[in-house]
Amino acid sequence: MTVSERMSNAGLVPVVVLENAADAVPVARALLAGGVDVMEITFRTAAAEDSIRAVAQECDEMVVGAGTVVTLEQCRRAVDAGAQFIVSPGYDDEVVAWCVEHDVTIVPGCVTPTEIMAAMKRGLSVLKFFPAGVYGGLSAMKALSAPFGSIRFVPTGGVNEKNCGEYSAAPFVHAIGGSWVCTKADIAAHNFEKITQLCKAARAAILGFEVGHVGVNCKDDAEAQAVCDKLTDAFSFPAKIGNSSNFSTDAIEVMKGCGRGVNGHIAIRTNKVSMAVAELEKR
């Protein structure tokens, strides 16, 4: 599985700021316990390089990357330390070209058509959208996805526990980035269990599992129609007639034959199908 696929399946790329490299592995393990196996350690502190190295050496199951990379020198140091991907706040062609040449996943910040086209020329399709809250959020990304349909964004900045589900449901969003699941304060206080619980809550919101509808099997068209008629008579539920099934409201599907299951099925709705499949395979 590629790094990009791991990001998408994680759904969330925590932006981690570490002042002390000794905290790197405990934070990584807290994220893993919360179901998140991708982390971005920012180059905003002197501890970044050693933190990346520690996670790369001690947490094989974690995909660790470097964030806030603004120079080629930082990029090289990060990769030498074990970073499996690079995230930059903006588009720097020198950094992007080096990463492409050395087969390192790079997610540069791109918020304009010009930047997106430059990234596409380098063969990139997953781009950071930062700061999302300032540059128009979902509406801006939706507008950009019209001419750039192959591009998927990783919005960061302005994404939080309240709107992460809404962001993740957008088809042009690859994953989301954020620091609310592992704040500097919680890291400093070694609130690792809290970090784990915040990750679990974030992933639950991103997945957005809920009951879509309940399916009831009938032997034929006539029986399906009779069931819908009874539901209409009893509860005034409107019926929508289809080819292979009828719907009594959007919540009850009445099959015109033996569909999925012996007696019927329960359809579960989710924001991200690929992420849901990966998650359910682990359960």
Name the residues annotated as catalytic: 40, 128
Do residues 217 and 263 make contact, with C-beta atoms less than 8 angstroms apart? yes
Do residues 244 and 256 make contact, with C-beta atoms less than 8 angstroms apart? yes
Residue 66: HSE in the Cβ half-sphere, 13 Å Cα cutoff: 33
Indicate the DSSP class of residue 196.
H
Do residues 153 and 142 make contact, with C-beta atoms less than 8 angstroms apart? no
**Phi, psi dihedrals of residue 247, rounded to the nearest 5°:** -115, 130
Residues ≥6 apart with Cβ < 8 Å to 149? none
**Phi, psi dihedrals of residue 278, rounded to the nearest 5°:** -65, -40
Q: Is 238 exposed, middle or buried (0-12, 13-18, 19+ CB in 10 A)?
A: exposed
Give Cα 128 to chain centroid, integer Å: 12
Tracing tokens 């990304």 back to the chain, one arrives at 141
Amino acid letter, residue 260: R
C-alpha angle 139-140-143 in degrees, rounded to nearest 5: 85
SS3 breakdown of the chain: % helix, strand, coil, rounded to 5?
A: 45, 20, 35
Q: Rounded to an integer, what distance in angstroms lies between the CA atom of residue 9 and that of residue 274? A: 7
C-alpha angle 192-82-23 in degrees, rounded to nearest 5: 20
